[in-house]
Amino acid sequence: MYQVGNLVKELSDKHGRQRDSLMPILQGIVEKHNYLTDEAMVEVAKELDISAAEVYGTASFYTFLDTQARGKYVIRICKTITCSMKGKIEIIQTLEDMLKIKVGETTADNNFSLIETNCIGWCHKAPAMLINEIPYTELTPEKVVDIIEGYMLK
Amino acid sequence: MEKTGLNKVDLIFEEIDPKEVLIKASKMTSDEIIQNMLDSGLKGRGGAGFPTGLKWKYTAAEKEPEKYIVCNADEGEPGTFKDREILDRVAYKVYGGMAIAGKAIGAKNGIVYLRGEYRFLLPKLMTELESFHKMISEIGFDFKIRYCLGSGAYICGEESALFESVEGFRGEPRNKPPYPTTSGVYNKPTSINNVETLVTATMIIKHGPASYSQLGTKDSRGSKVFSISGDTPTPGIFELELGMSVQEFVNEFGDGDTKAVQVGGASGFCVPRKKFQDTIIGFEGVPTGGSMKLFNSSRSMYNVLHNYLDFFAEESCGQCTPCRVGCQQLLKGVEKVKKGEAKSIYLNELVKLADTMKIASKCGLGQSVGNAFKTIVENFREEIIY
Ligand SMILES: Cc1cc2nc3c(=O)[nH]c(=O)nc-3n(C[C@H](O)[C@H](O)[C@H](O)COP(=O)(O)O)c2cc1C
Ligand code: SF4
Ligand code: FES
């Protein structure tokens, strides 16, 4: 759990307080904290003067506006057909072994979440994944180890 | 001479001086720009293939003073990645196309809706947008573009769902009519075009419609950027003249053992080997937003179909029953047949369900689930059953 503090106000100053400011504000919170807490959503509702149900209803539609707790680095592995054909299973295996979690879980230190996602537009360089917004492509188990070790040192 | 084989083209990624093209456009009337699009024969590159000139003409005819140009950069169709590459390499041509479209329909504002998966590109795109704004203000073009980001929902590529999302709502498709040309984003007349369509428009203004319409066939003019993946030695992005057969395509991109090509992504059509020769890639045959996936004989078409159905079951917005329930039933249905829990004849019932979804679903998602379903089940029935 994090405290949103002034973030909602800052984002509202930047993006406005109209209905169409809602997405950029929620995206701004997720960019910083990786998921939306109830507190954050209530705060947004107050700031935009709409009901919290509206905020939650919108957020829950979008897979990237997570309403369940996620780690600092959200790993999204593509599970669509080409990545699936080109070794997605070995990549997931490697990640699960390294992070000691299963798909859908978050590490105990809250550093990594592992989830599957649909085609991320890198099929010609499959298998592919995103870590937060950064794409990683043409993955092999060895490459994945290097990448994750890099994040562990951050 | 009759055209044969496959012709590589370099129009979309060609480096040009955008200022020159925009000065040319600024000296044309709205009608002239629209006539150029109509004469070129350009059809939308986002999948549905609506003639771009007509879309601009309808939007231009609306009396409402506030209008919008929207660039659809949601690119979520499995197997499509060309719009990312286009934005990465020639975003200025996308912006140019938006400004030209703006002049044609009488809009001063443009919105690019970029899928959240491509957020890493945004800083670069914004810098380029700044230079673009500076350049067009120098030549007296009154047009402003802004970005909206998606958040991981395939359905937001559907135009009316995209508008809902821009406005800050759940991305649930609207009823049609009214069409976007009369009531689009913020309920204002809107021309929504795919990234590649807008770049093509820029190139048509540059080279003229006559030279563009020499490429391609009567029903599919011009060239198209293809996103090629799967079992191929050369996956990647290729711009090809329209009008080739699947066979010609496979000769160039196959691995020697291609048994099927999925044309147009999960919502497109599966073409089996025996139909390669007689199937044209384009509006006269199998249309495509550019996604071309090749499968060789080591692949199980059951796995392919299952993967697509799983995709649709997840991405259906759930708003209308035929699609929400239909996607899940198709998925469960093929699983049952595979496990032997249902007789193979049950597949016929599922095909009927897919037909019903085509008629009864509210938007293009539910309406096109049957494309892949039927073409895979019809052509690879044994692989689904055994
Ligand atoms: C489920 C669904 C997803 C779509 N996704 C996209 C997309 O990612 N990009 C796109 O340009 N068009 C997409 N479309 C088509 C758009 O609704 C619209 O027809 C297109 O943006 C119009 O542009 P065009 O005429 O230049 O092709 C999608 C349609 C449906 C039904
Ligand atoms: S067809 Fe599917 S995606 Fe489209 S509105 Fe209905 S439920 Fe939503
Ligand atoms: S299938 Fe994985 S990126 Fe497209």
Contacts of B311 in chain A (CB under 8 A): 80, 118-119
Show residues of chain B in contact with A125, CB under 8 Å: 235
Is A52 inside a domain boundary? yes
Residues of A whose CB is below 8 A from B119: 133
Report if residue A66 sits inside a domain.
no
- Tokens standing for A132? 């937060």
A118 with B76: Cβ contact below 8 A = yes
**pLDDT digits over B336-354, tens only?**
999 999 999 999 999 999 9
Common-topology check for domains B11-212 and B301-381: no
Q: What is the mean pLDDT of chain A?
A: 97
Do A86 and A52 fall within a single domain? no
The verdict on A80 and A144 lying in the same domain is: yes
How confident is the model at residue B47, as a pLDDT? 84
CATH number of the domain within which A95 lies: 3.40.30.10
Q: Distance between CA atoms of A133 and A131, rounded to whole angstroms?
A: 6
**pLDDT of B120 over the 70 cut:** yes
pLDDT digits (tens, 9 = 90+) for B129-175: 999 999 999 999 999 999 999 999 999 999 999 999 999 999 999 99
Residue with tokens 């009337």: B29
Amino acid in position B322: P
- CATH of segment(s) B301-381: 1.20.1440.230
CA distances for B340 relative to A81, B31, B58, B348, angstroms: 24, 62, 53, 15
Mean pLDDT over residues A136-149, rounded?
A: 98
Residue B2: what pLDDT? 41
**Ligand 1 and B115: CB distance under 6 A:** no
Site of tokens 């809706």: B113
Ligand 2 centroid from CA B365, angstroms: 6
Which superfamily does B11-212 belong to? NADH-ubiquinone oxidoreductase 51kDa subunit (3.40.50.11540)
The stretches of chain B forming alpha helices (DSSP H) are: 18-26, 30-40, 52-61, 82-105, 122-138, 159-166, 195-207, 209-213, 246-253, 301-315, 321-339, 346-360, 364-379, 381-385
Looking at the fold, whether A96 and A126 belong to one and the same domain comes out as yes
- Give the start-to-end residue ranges of the domains of chain B: 11-212, 223-296, 301-381
Is A120 in Cβ contact with B229 (below 8 Å)?
no
Cβ atoms of residues B56 and B33 within 8 Å: yes
B16 vs A7, A73, B84, B89, B166, CA distance in Å? 42, 40, 19, 12, 31
Given this model, what pLDDT does residue B5 score? 62
Domain co-membership, A54 together with A78: no
Residue numbers of the domain that contains A43: 7-59
**What is the pLDDT confidence band of residue B287, given thresholds at 50, 70 and 90?**
confident
User: Residue B73, SS3?
Assistant: strand
Predicted-complex ipTM score: 0.97
- Is the residue at A142 inside a domain? yes
- With respect to residue A16, please indicate whether it lies within any of the assigned structural domains: yes
Structure tokens at A68: 């369940």
Specify the number of domains making up chain A.
2
For residue B94, what are the CA distances in angstroms to B36, B70, B73, B195? 17, 11, 10, 6
Q: What's the CATH fold of domain B223-296?
A: Ubiquitin-like (UB roll) (3.10.20)
Mark out chain A residues that contact chain B at CB-CB < 8 A: 18-24, 26-27, 30, 57-58, 61-65, 79-82, 84-85, 117-126, 130, 133-135
Cα separation, B262 vs B226, whole angstroms: 12
Residues of chain A with pLDDT > 70: what percent? 100
**Tens digit of pLDDT for each residue in A29-79?**
999 999 999 999 999 999 999 999 999 999 999 999 999 999 999 999 999
